Structure 1
Amino acid sequence: MSIPKEPRQQMITMMYLVLTALLALNVSAEVLNAFKLVHEGIRNTNTALDTKNDAIMDAFAQQMASDPERAREYFERAQQAQQITREFYDYIEAVKEEVIEASGGVNDAGEIRNIGHVDAPTRVMVNQRRGFEVKDRIEEIIQDYLALVFSDEDRQILQTQIPLNTEFNPDETDQPDWVTYNFRKVPVIAAVTILTKFQSDAKQTESLLLENLISQIGASTFRFDRLSAKIIAPSSYVLAGSQYSADIFVSATSETQDPTVYIGELDMDIVERDTFGNFLETTQNPIKGSYDTLPVVAGMGKLNVPAQRVGVQQYSGAVRVQQPGGTGYLYFPFEGQYQVAEGGVVVSPTKMNVMYIGVENPLAISVVGFPSDRVRASISQGTLAGSDGDFRARVNTPGTATVNVSAEMDDGSTQTMGSQEFRVRRIPTPQAKIAGEAGGNMPAARFRAQRGIIAELESFEFDVRFEIVGFEMIYAAARQDVITERANGPQFNQRMLGFMERARPGDMFYFDNIRARGPDGNTVRLPGITFRLI
């Protein structure tokens, strides 16, 4: 006979159906929502790029008003660049609409109905080869953009800077080509985000080209449109009792003609200094060997390097500015240095930025300028043991815990150096498993060979053991009454082993009320698991 339709059995059946549905999903809601956020961010970037490019075109208009003969050729090429971007943007927008329509379209609010749909991008972009058309179009407009650059040198530089590309390395993936790699079996929201990124890359390429063209409009003298006060100090790291010094002056920059800033080793056979030790400008590129090019904002190069080594770090380079009239370039060499020091207080959890109840949480604690044997630490709850910078914290109450750090001074006194607050959590609930599986179909022979249930913590930073203290087995054989048996501990009892021995393919086993004891002594209830013998 069939399984009785009692409320408990109906609940178990529903749990099985839900579990089967969840196992079929291959994209999480969190990932899809993350793609929505990225997509919105790229759209905001596109808006910002439009504003920037419009500002550059306004500067072109001013140049046309003041000196049309000199500015006209550059202005016309800038208009061509905008036309290339506009046509490409509209083309990609049509491709996006085609993918969205194939997935079910949008709702009344204008939002994509099925953001997780993976068949539509594959069908449109791969099977119908729209992705290959997009790839060809990208490669085409890259050449169109580069053709608008006047000098070979600038063209080579722009070619290394533009974000648009269709590079594909088959050694890094099992996908056969660029289109399949980007669009096969990806959710609709991911495909739309990728296409929106292409639009953004085109706008960024347009921006780079417009900046290059506006900078080429020659003049009889250098032109600057921004004055600002600047402070240059030999060092921003000052010890107590020493003196801080700096040079304060007015700097002139241009928003319409950005310089090019290189970071690299200077060729001392080219560079020269004046009687005050300052570098003189030169018409030769003074960079020796390889170099890096800095991003430029409002006429100023932005240097950002990771502070990885403690001590004084030196760097050098040159600023390249086009000479008036567009006849060549002037290079302005420079040298600089900065000092890297350890942070004032470092409290670093060696697992993650959280402490767990019931386990030892290792911490590495140090204070700059003090040897590890003079560093002291305490905690607001639980215990903190250790020495020489290596500590182990045990906490007992969910919420927060504060680690307070102090150092022993030369006179023997103790001075507070800082503190760090940590989140305190219980160890996550483990997953019940049989034969390494958390439910689903299992060969009958393999199932009969098992002797108990284990509790496993997946993707957890600590090596933590949970002990199964009890569970229920519900055996539902075809055309037979349901049988329930309880066990204490992790092992199957003799009755359970008997059910398993006579079970046949198609029979169902439900495990419920699974309880496990953690290292903190607390007993937690684990989600039930279901197996169907095959």
Structure 2
Amino acid sequence: MAGGKLSARQKMINLMYLVFIAMMAMNMSKEVLSAFGLMEAKFADSNVATTDRNEALLADLETKGEEKPEEFALPAQNAKLVSTISDKFYKYIETLKVDLLKDGEYSLDSKTGKLPFESMDKTDILDEKWFTGDRLTKAGDAVMAEVAKYKKEIKDVLGTDVKYKKANETFDKLFDTSDVTNNEGDNKGWLDYHFQGFPAIASYTKLTAIQNDVKVTEANMFNLFLGNTLTEAVSLKKYQAIVLADKSAFFAGEKFQGKVVLGKYANVTPTKLSVQGNEIDLSEAIDSLGAAKLDFNVGNVGEHQIDGKFTFLEDGKPLEIDIVGNYVVVPRPNSATISADKMNVVYRGVANPMTISFAGVPDNKVNASGSGLSKGSGVGKYIMNAGSGKEVTINVTATLDDGSKASDQKTFRIKDIPAPTGTMAGQSGLVKLPKRNVEIGTVGAKLDDFVFDLPISVTSFKIKVPGQPTVSVVGTKMNGQAKASIKRARKGDNITIFDIKAKITGNAKYRLKNVSPVIVEVTN
């Protein structure tokens, strides 16, 4: 429009167009300013009405505190604190509004009693007072400090009482002064985002809205202290079905027993948590849902109880909630069960050690019986002393958690201890020794490749030297007659030691089979 040579008529048309646009902008601004003014008036009226209601609620609390001190003395005291804190902050915001009008030279209309909304379009009043460059002035910092002080004082009244948790969350949202991201994606401070660059009437209205938030907070607190905020707590929409099993493990074929209840997670941090007699570090144990994670060593195989306590702060007093539960420990599958079906053998004459258990059942609920079976030392340990016969059956009965019985049995073959092998000077079979070694040597007996390391004692034996009569000897050493016979042996003669009698040390009653003889070839 401004380029080139224009006629006088065209210039006039262009000028009228610019004036028309300016008039439209002016009219729009007045409408917007008037809208802010109407909003401010609504907030102001609401503040007056809420103040009256809050005074009635506070008076009700004070009366209840006198009539029922054990129930309402503390809530009434807290309500007075909230009233004092709120009134002080409300009046501080009022001083900001008064200063805004004074600095902008605005005053109430003498006829209507209203502010001149349409003329309150200045944006530099608070901009120059609260902001400088990209930071706040001392006056701006003071405003943020007062807001922070108010928030801290209110939250100090609520404390960590579990009943006030929801109120704490609502209050935090209402007075959230964290940075805000605008439509352009820029991160701006709370005071900057809400007040910088706005007309005076908009800032004035926002300050009245903050006063309204103070009054709403006051009303919420008073109702909370009176116990008038039960709707959310009892709404079934907040609950879920929770399965509570009577125990945490069941055997195959066993009936599931437990119950289903309606409940919900209480995302409330306790002041103390103890499990199995040990206090738990709350910073590590509580997750985002308020659930406490358990981490402790389980006991031996069988059913065990879990006991502990949650401690919360409610009505200024510790509230303890018992933790009761149970769990079942089953054997860790760290080995395979491998057996040779034809090798289920116990030996007569020795104490056969056995381990007997029932999967998932503690030792004190397992009973094993059988001929010659007795309880040993240790969990699941038994001793089998087999008697006469060729077989012995061991019966095992377990008592399960529900009181029912489970049984099993196994049959073992009974075998005698194999015949020992005779020895001379520790050697067996055909032995080559000098005559002198035979004279001073010791006659013994051993069990070759036997599963038990049994101590065997020789009690007597016989010795036969070629051309000499047989000599009987008691004990393990050659007597005089046997030595004399050995001296007559010649090189190459085979001296036979036979009919060796032996017994198991500590078990003389058991009769070992005949000990095999030893043949000694004389080497000199």
Q: Specify the TM-score bucket, using the shorter chain as the normaliser.
A: 0.3 to 0.5
TM-score (norm: length of structure 1): 0.39
Q: Which has the higher contact order (CA 8 A, sep 6+)?
A: 1
TM-score (norm: length of structure 2): 0.40
Going by fraction, where is helix more abundant, 1 or 2?
2
